[in-house]
Amino acid sequence: MNQAEQLNANLMPLARLMGVTVVEASPDRVMTRLVVRDDLCTAGGILHGGAFMALADTTGAIGAFLGLPQGAGTTTIESKTNFLGGAPVGAEITAEATPIHRGRRTSIWQTRITNEAGKLLALVTQTQMTI
């Protein structure tokens, strides 16, 4: 079983509920996908901002976790999202997280969320603390 398959088998409960799928995972890059469902949307049939943020938080947290020493954990202590476009019901979106900084106590991850055409829909920067 490869890294992505292992992560999918043990995905965080919220990510599993949302339908997040890990496509690729390493300490240097994590890619996830999500098919936009009606129950993840606003009344207008567009992916809710909180769902964008949860997808990005999950993706960055996986990257931070993969870079930790054995027995350590991670938690998000800050997150900032720029919303640049909408994702309608049925769209498949991709989140790609890469590290900006890795320190002893924190790491900073940037996640780009794009649609099938590669259009940037959201840009998220989050800080993960090692616990």
Residue 61 CA to residue 121 CA, distance in Å, equals 20
Tens digit of pLDDT for each residue in 21-56? 999 999 999 999 999 999 999 999 999 999 999 999
The number of distinct structural domains making up the chain is: 1
Mean of pLDDT over the chain? 96
Average pLDDT, integer, range 99-112: 97
Domain span at 37:
3-130
The pTM score is 0.96
Residue 123, domain CATH: 3.10.129.10
Predicted local distance difference test score (pLDDT) of residue 91: 98
